[in-house]
Amino acid sequence: MRISVTLLQYEHGIVRQTIDVLAEVVKGGRAPERKADVEELMSFLLDYLDRFHHAKEEECFFPQVVNYFPKFKEDVDGIYDDHVEARELLEAGIKALDEEDWETFNSLSMKVVHHMTAHVEKEENNIFPTVDEDLPLEVDEAMNQCYQDFLRNFGEDYYQKAEMFANEIQDRLLGPGFFDKGIY
């Protein structure tokens, strides 16, 4: 186990949770009536996903992955392209929401959902298992230092705030306990 990987997996949990909320709202055709809440959700996604999670992966994680596991060079190039595409989809979605172009907003939102689901699976199934097993421990340590320095730009309580927001927006948009149904 490597802490550098575990932390990214934890972050993916919040990504999954919030894009699931977006998917449910869009599939239910409820974005127009919940515009203000959806705006909050989209702006959280742009901040958390693009400015925080993807930027941190690019600054602290993937450069070392390519260094130690050159076989992943092409995959990592693809991952960087995915990050750009996620940002572009989110920005275009926010614009469509602002303009109340619901058809475009719904279609872009579902693209974000499918794109991010596939992206997270690519990282978790293809790259993380090798890193988790074979990354030298001192490199894992250096990555964690990099994560901590990176986190400082967002505030030490950013994780706590993000987790609270994810739970709160889920309850607000879908009703309390929505994703608990059928899991336990």
Q: Summarize as ranges the residues that interact with Fe ion (CB under 5 A).
A: 57, 123
Angle between helices 102-122 and 3-27 (to 10 degrees): 150
146 or 174, CB closer to Fe ion?
146
Cβ atoms of residues 38 and 31 within 8 Å: yes
61 or 105, CB closer to Fe ion?
61
31 or 123, CB closer to Fe ion?
123
Provide the minimum distance between the beta carbon of 135 and Fe ion in the complex, in angstroms, as a whole number: 16
123 or 140, CB closer to Fe ion?
123
| C-alpha span between 65 and 81 (Å, rounded) | 16
Provide the minimum distance between the beta carbon of 112 and Fe ion in the complex, in angstroms, as a whole number: 13
Cβ atoms of residues 115 and 82 within 8 Å: yes
Provide the minimum distance between the beta carbon of 144 and Fe ion in the complex, in angstroms, as a whole number: 16
Provide the minimum distance between the beta carbon of 142 and Fe ion in the complex, in angstroms, as a whole number: 19
Question: CA-based angle 171:174:180, to the nearest 5?
Answer: 75
Say which amino acid occupies 10. Y
- Using only the alpha carbons of the chain, give its radius of gyration: 17
